[in-house]
Amino acid sequence: MRIVLLGAPGAGKGTQSQRLVERLGIPQISTGDLLRSAVARGSELGRQAREAMEGGRLVDDSLVLGMIRERLGERDARRGFILDGFPRNLAQAHALERLLEQLRQPLDAVVQLEVDYRELVRRISGRRTCADCGRVFNLLTSPAAGASQLCPKTGAPHRLVQRPDDNEATVAERLRVYDEKTRPLVDFYRARGLLRVIDAQAEVDEVTRRLYQALGVRMARKARPAKAARRSPRRAARKGAAPRKAVSRRAAPRRKPARAASRASRTSRTSRAKPRTRVPQRPRRKR
Ligand code: AP5
């Protein structure tokens, strides 16, 4: 599938993209992540992008388009992709359309995640990212998540840091830029019959459910406990797995279809009937 996730800063594009990556096995292409890693590497691209990012403005189209062209040309993107944070204005949307035409890979869907302004600000101000593995957490909306896990890269607790552009002044500018430059893409994609809008102001799992529904993707089945765990619920409980509920044989009567059941009961009644036995009689006394 080839998908674009649209939405204001903090709408949950990155969070939901991660879930789609796991579900669909296609890469997430986030221009924000690509730019941040260019800044961290200190490359020429990063140097040019840094100032705009810190001010909450859009990075120059030519830089972003060059980066996207290169990334979409990579092998893993041939099976599909999730674009997160791109396109961001009409010029980028037209350029993407032309590029995908050349690659013969048209978009399948564009999903707009709708969240109101106050909730966006709350989510952004609580966001923290692990400096080592890059996982995103939130101190306000899911405070327990970061504390309870270890970083898969270091094996130590996550080192949570705040993004430099997640400060109050920059967030206000990012939201203003979104309204002015990115929101018009809603009509652009609606006119092409690609747009689906979901209310993304709900629990993360519920938003995932709505997103999958909009895309026609089935939710992943919950993993069944291992066979051994199903056979031995007590042992599984000791190991922490959720065993299958034990069913008492008495509590679960066998069901049979009506006719077969009555036939069966007739048969069993006959077969269970006691065999007739002759009771030996006492010989009569002769008088
Ligand atoms: P970018 O990194 O793309 O930032 P953004 O669009 O502002 O989006 P965010 O990453 O802030 O939010 P998100 O929607 O991904 O939310 P998340 O899932 O993290 O861009 C950064 C900068 O790079 C731009 O300002 C610009 O300068 C430049 N740039 C990038 N792309 C560009 C382009 N194409 N052209 C030009 N310049 C470009 O969630 C946010 C928080 O909320 C997290 O803490 C998360 O845990 C939490 N959360 C998520 N979902 C829920 C939920 N349902 N309930 C409660 N909490 C939730």
The predicted-structure confidence for 263-274, as pLDDT tens digits, reads as follows 443 333 333 444
pTM listed for this prediction: 0.80
The first and second tokens of residue 52, run together, are 């705009």
Pure H helices in the chain: 13-24, 31-41, 44-55, 61-72, 90-102, 117-126, 143-147, 168-177, 185-191, 204-215, 227-231, 233-239, 258-272
Question: How far is ligand 1, taken at its centre, from the CA of residue 191, in Å?
Answer: 25
> Which of 23, 69, 135, 163 is labelled catalytic?
163
Is the model more confident about 214 or about 251? 214
**Confidence label for 168 from pLDDT (cuts 50, 70 and 90):** confident
Counting atoms of ligand 1 from 1, which one is nearest the CA of 86?
34
Find out whether the beta carbon of 127 lies less than 6 Å from any atom of ligand 1: yes
Beta carbons within 10 angstroms of residue 42's beta carbon: 9
Q: Report how far residue 3's alpha carbon sits from residue 182's, in angstroms, rounded to the nearest whole number.
A: 16
β-pair partners for 81 = 2
Find out whether the beta carbon of 146 lies less than 6 Å from any atom of ligand 1: no
Instruction: Identify whether 88 is a catalytic site residue.
Output: yes
**Confidence label for 231 from pLDDT (cuts 50, 70 and 90):** low
Question: How far is ligand 1, taken at its centre, from the CA of residue 26, in Å?
Answer: 19
Counting atoms of ligand 1 from 1, which one is nearest the CA of 174?
25
Percent of the chain whose pLDDT exceeds 70: 75
Percent of the chain whose pLDDT exceeds 90: 68
The first and second tokens of residue 227, run together, are 């066979």
Q: Report how far residue 82's alpha carbon sits from residue 63's, in angstroms, rounded to the nearest whole number.
A: 20
Counting atoms of ligand 1 from 1, which one is nearest the CA of 113?
14
Question: How far is ligand 1, taken at its centre, from the CA of residue 132, in Å?
Answer: 19
Instruction: Identify whether 163 is a catalytic site residue.
Output: yes
R_g of the chain, CA atoms, integer Å = 31
Q: Indicate the SS3 state at residue 182.
A: helix
**Confidence label for 284 from pLDDT (cuts 50, 70 and 90):** low
Mean predicted confidence (pLDDT) in 49-74 = 96
**Confidence label for 15 from pLDDT (cuts 50, 70 and 90):** very high
β-pair partners for 196 = 111
Please return the burial class of 282, using the count of CB atoms within 10 Å of its CB with bins 0-12, 13-18 and 19+. Answer: exposed
**Confidence label for 276 from pLDDT (cuts 50, 70 and 90):** very low
Q: Report how far residue 67's alpha carbon sits from residue 59's, in angstroms, rounded to the nearest whole number.
A: 12
Give the per-residue pLDDT at 260. 41
Give the per-residue pLDDT at 240. 47
Find out whether the beta carbon of 138 lies less than 6 Å from any atom of ligand 1: yes
> Which of 127, 128, 196, 210 is labelled catalytic?
127
Q: Report how far residue 197's alpha carbon sits from residue 112's, in angstroms, rounded to the nearest whole number.
A: 5
> Among the listed ranges 110-119, 183-192, 266-275, which one has the minimum average pLDDT value?
266-275
> Among the listed ranges 42-56, 75-89, 235-249, which one has the minimum average pLDDT value?
235-249
Ligand 1 atom 48: residue of nearest CA: 12
The first and second tokens of residue 85, run together, are 């944070």
Question: How far is ligand 1, taken at its centre, from the CA of residue 126, in Å?
Answer: 12
β-pair partners for 112 = 6, 197
The first and second tokens of residue 155, run together, are 């094996």
Give the per-residue pLDDT at 27. 97
Is the model more confident about 284 or about 216? 216
Please return the burial class of 29, using the count of CB atoms within 10 Å of its CB with bins 0-12, 13-18 and 19+. Answer: buried
Mean predicted confidence (pLDDT) in 43-66 = 96
Question: How far is ligand 1, taken at its centre, from the CA of residue 75, in Å?
Answer: 26
Please return the burial class of 245, using the count of CB atoms within 10 Å of its CB with bins 0-12, 13-18 and 19+. Answer: exposed
Find out whether the beta carbon of 13 lies less than 6 Å from any atom of ligand 1: yes
Find out whether the beta carbon of 89 lies less than 6 Å from any atom of ligand 1: no
> Which of 36, 128, 174, 196 is labelled catalytic?
174
Give CA 171 to chain center in angstroms. 25
**Confidence label for 243 from pLDDT (cuts 50, 70 and 90):** very low
Instruction: Identify whether 127 is a catalytic site residue.
Output: yes
Give the per-residue pLDDT at 183. 97
Q: Report how far residue 142's alpha carbon sits from residue 127's, in angstroms, rounded to the nearest whole number.
A: 10
Give the per-residue pLDDT at 281. 58
Mean predicted confidence (pLDDT) in 11-30 = 96
Closest CA to 24 of 105, 81, 102, 77: 81
